[in-house]
Amino acid sequence: MYKHILLAVDGSASSARAIEAAAALPNSGSEILVLHIREIEVTRGEHAKEDPDHAVHLVDQVVADLRGRGLTVTGEAKNATAGQVAPSILAAAKEFNADVIVMGTRGLSDFAALLVGSVAHKVINHADCAVLITR
């Protein structure tokens, strides 16, 4: 059903559930791209909210897990400036020609998501493909 599955991960509990959901989607010939966006704040120089080694380690762990299940998987950790995580996920999905984006959410209400600008909320509203959200 889905040939190109983009799995956006962040290390959260909902992200772990997204991994399980993505693992259940592939059929013969499917490919999964594990993507982690490392948010960078640019003020006077770059200030990362996360260690670059942690980002790469997270992606490597998920890739190894899914490959251990016999799936075809690649992984990528990318940087994005603060507020650009959702557009970065959407750009990667377009570049990968994703049929579906799988990701977790903290489960904020629509009102709270509008106030804080939920990444999942932005992806749902702007994706050119199907989006599967886990809580």
Q: How many CB atoms lie within 10 A of CB 81?
A: 13
Q: How many CB atoms lie within 10 A of CB 82?
A: 12
Task: Kindly report the backbone phi and psi dihedral angles of residue 125, in degrees, each rounded to the nearest multiple of 5, phi listed first.
Answer: -80, -15
What pLDDT shows up at residue 46? Answer: 57
Judged against a pLDDT cut of 70, whether residue 36 lies above it is answered with yes
What pLDDT shows up at residue 82? Answer: 85
Class of the 4-134 domain? alpha beta
Pairing of strands 45-48, 31-43: antiparallel
Instruction: Find all residues with CB under 8 Å of 57, minimum gap 6, and list them.
Output: none
List the domain boundaries for the chain.
4-134
CA distance 114 to 128: 20
What pLDDT shows up at residue 51? Answer: 78
Secondary structure, 3-state, 8-75: ECCCCHHHHHHHHHHHCCCCCCCEEEEEEEEEEEEECEEEECCCHHHHHHHHHHHHHHHHHCCCCEEE
Per-residue pLDDT tens over the stretch 113-126: 454 458 998 999 99
The per-residue pLDDT of the chain, averaged, comes to 89
Per-residue pLDDT tens over the stretch 44-92: 665 566 777 899 999 999 999 999 999 999 999 999 998 899 999 999 9
Pairing of strands 4-8, 100-104: parallel
pTM of the model: 0.90
